[in-house]
Amino acid sequence: MKVIKGDFDRIASLLFENSDRNNVYHKYLLRHVPSHCHNSLDVGCGTGAFSRLLATRSDRVVALDLSPGMIDLARQRSRDVSNISFEVADVLRMDFPAQEFDCIASINTLHHLPMEEVLLMMRKALRVNGKLIILDLFQGEGLGDIITSTLAFPSSIALRLMKTGRLRPHRELRRAWTQHALNDTYLTMNQVRKMCEKLLPGAQVRKHLLWQYSIRWRKEAGK
């Protein structure tokens, strides 16, 4: 975790522009957030972009990130939002009360963590009828994923060009992401679906362009 913290502190110091491609899926994810939540949790909040969207539907949002640099950026970019509590925290060391949150979200974070352990923690902390919403990266396998990856590259470049006016991130940011990627590992879609069948029965798992997938799950009584 110390390596991941260092990577994201470095990346945060280089984020001069809002070039996060995760934002492409924020509207899709927000559609599945309950219309009104008392408490919501954002695990791995980064610069707080999705936390701010959660805040439009929540009385209170707890937003966690391991990186102090990311939390500093999130606080700077959320000065006008009063119902978000940004905290530097390791989610693996948190002890959330049972049935604490109406919505729990996590974007491109679970591949850094022991996924089964974290999903069990989230399931416990979610209230009955609460929603779990996850976006993360997957490891491609087979011809279909090769074709999808081929299509994703020009789409990724086009999105960055529209958002930032640049074909690629600046050099130092590219180096930081490349260094970070050396420590990343991803599940395949088959592994994700098997884990959901085991821990989140009835979860809706969807593959997206840009090497990402989403999980949507509503907690029923007794789970």
Q: Is residue 130 within 8 Å of residue 102, measured between CB atoms?
A: yes
Residue 10 vs residue 61, higher pLDDT? 61
The pLDDT value given to residue 167: 46
Which among 220, 221, 223, 190 is positioned nearest to 205, based on CA atoms?
190
Domain boundaries, the chain: 2-140+179-218
pTM given for the model: 0.82
pLDDT over 70 at 80, yes or no: yes
pLDDT (mean) for 173-180: 57
pLDDT over 70 at 31, yes or no: yes
2-140+179-218 in CATH: which number? Answer: 3.40.50.150
Q: Is residue 215 within 8 Å of residue 204, measured between CB atoms?
A: yes
Which among 115, 108, 131, 159 is positioned nearest to 54, based on CA atoms?
131
